[in-house]
A = this chain, B = another copy of it.
Amino acid sequence: MSGKEIHFVTGCAGFIGSNLTDRLLSAGYKVIGYDNFSTGKEKFLENALKSQNFSLIRGDLLDFDFLKKSLKGGTVWHFAANADVRFGLQKPRIDLEQNTIATSNVLEAARINGVHTFCFSSTGSIYGEAKITPTPEEHPFPIQTSLYGASKLACEGLIEAYCEGFNMRGIIFRFVSILGERYAHGHVFDFVRQLKKDAKTLKVLGDGNQKKSYLYIQDCINACFKALEKTKNKIEIYNLGADEYVSVKDSISYICARLGVEPALEFSGGNKGWIGDNPFIFLETAKIKSLGWKAGLSIKEAVEKTVDYLLKNIWILGD
């Protein structure tokens, strides 16, 4: 990939958005990043801000008039989101506002500004408790189990209808949990933070047998680039994940070995970490692999890289 086309990245200061921004800049693109810094971090843009090809816009996606004036480019990467699946029930509006309504705003601004390609970070949570694993993109019509998954489902539908009606190209990625540099929430984060405070005990949501797939951030972005290059149809949906899964207990063993600790494990119990948690997430990735992509790191390597990153960037753990 090369050239000077403008790419507009929402959530450019987030975990995935900032890595994407750096990679787009490395590939020679101009990038306009848009972020409200509600969870995004200035530090993640240190590299990008050194580039003449990058401009940063501080704005909220719910401020439609400002967004409409700000959005430019041929390709939009809409990667801003409320990305925490766990807290939907405590704040039942947050996923609707930050995900569904925000996405509607980005689509409408993209349409008005003549964007030709709309890339979107969806989620494997959209399959709910999948009946088929590894779960293919054409899994039977799923039942949503979380407001987060429901909001991403709503976003996907909006993108598809916009592409159908306004002749944009839509590329939707259903991610598993992503790991690696700038990872700033999720189970590895929680466990490392706990163990840095007290290496003797580790509290674990559920029974530790939840099985999930993960993907290393640079592998994730390689897949996004491959899909951008190869997608011919008006709409394509790609699962992104590793060819394997691990249990929470497996992941704990990788983390503890890397940290050199042997805590006692305290399980909250039950087969789910929280209401709406899916005890088995493992996606079929034949479709993205058919484009010539494959993951470079195993889940174990990705967990280890994440632990190393957190230890080198201890500020991220907060308090």
Contact = CB atoms under 8 A, between A and B. Distances in A.
Interface of A: 88-89, 92-93, 96, 100-101, 104, 107-108, 111, 128, 137-147, 149-151, 153-154, 156-158, 160-162, 164-166, 235, 237, 275-276
Contacts of A89: 165-166
A144 B237 CA distance: 12
Nearest to A89: B165
Contacts of A93: 104, 108
A140 B139 contact: yes
Contacts of A128: 160
Contacts of A275: 164-165
Copies of this protein in the complex: 2
Name the residue among A108, A139, A140, A157 with the largest chain B CB count within 10 angstroms: A157
Nearest to A96: B104
A108 B235 CA distance: 33
27 contacts: A89-B166, A92-B108, A92-B111, A93-B108, A96-B100, A96-B101, A96-B158, A100-B154, A137-B141, A138-B140, A140-B141, A141-B142, A143-B164, A143-B235, A144-B161, A144-B164, A145-B164, A146-B161, A146-B164, A147-B158, A147-B165, A149-B157, A149-B161, A153-B153, A153-B157, A154-B158, A164-B276
A271 to B, nearest CB: 15
Nearest to A164: B145
Contact of A145 (B104, B160, B276): B160
